[in-house]
Amino acid sequence: MRKVGILGGMGPEATVLLMKKIIECTKAQDDQDHIPLLVDNNTQVPSRIEAIINKNGSDPLPELCKMANSLEKNGASALAMPCNTAHLYIKEIRKQIKIPFISIVEESAAYLKKVQFGAKKIGILASPAVKITKIFEYELEKNNMNLIYIGDENLILSTIKQIKSNFVSGSVSEKLEEISIQAKSIQLDLILIACSEFSIVSDEIKRKFNIPVVDTLDILASRIVNFSKKN
């Protein structure tokens, strides 16, 4: 099996969740049947929110390129990254490496196209930084998918920050309830979880929204397993 390098730490719990999902996606009877991973759980990558939304933070790109180069040097056959927002930098990172970089954005768009969600109204649950950078728009809208961001910016940001900071589950649940109420009037066909912090509470999100929910982290985990096992 081929070894996959993970650019992690954005955030650390979401990185562990991706690893857990990779294990769950793998048919294994012994340790040697599992996917070999190199994980850089780098919690010192500059804040994407500060850099993109507030425009007063350090540029994350140099640190991300450093991580990518290190993972490649240490034997990774491909790279992946659970942070959706950080995929703003994937084009520049790809210029610095010789191995494939599995994109959570590209893989999610391909999955939705495959299951024929084209021409559907998709509510995207993501950081406002994802909305600003439009990293999902091109991939989804070119396939006739109507993308709608749900939840107001302050509510989304406060929910993400609370999940990152050892959240009290009750208060996060209340915030998710508020987001779901805001979304109900839109009459969505699908919710796309496109923030790895929201992936941590995906079960709660599924309970709040009475429509299909697709998690980009699930799609990425499945693709990593398929890549690793392909000779």
At 138-148, the pLDDT tens digits run 888 877 788 99
Q: Of the residues 6, 71, 83, 183, which is catalytic?
A: 83
Indicate if 25 belongs to the active site: no
22-31, 70-79, 80-89, 167-176: least confident range: 167-176
Percent of the chain at pLDDT > 90 equals 81
Indicate if 65 belongs to the active site: no
Pick the CATH number of 4-104+219-229 from 3.40.50.1860, 1.20.1260.10, 3.40.50.150, 3.40.640.10: 3.40.50.1860
* CATH number of the domain located at residue range(s) 105-215 in this protein: 3.40.50.1860
Split at pLDDT 50, 70, 90, the class of 168 is low
Residues of the chain with CATH 3.40.50.1860: 4-104+219-229, 105-215
**Mean of all residue pLDDT scores within the chain:** 93
Q: Of the residues 195, 201, 217, 220, which is catalytic?
A: 195
Split at pLDDT 50, 70, 90, the class of 67 is very high
pTM for the predicted model, two decimal places: 0.95
The half-sphere exposure of 23 on its side-chain side, counting CA atoms within 13 A, is 8
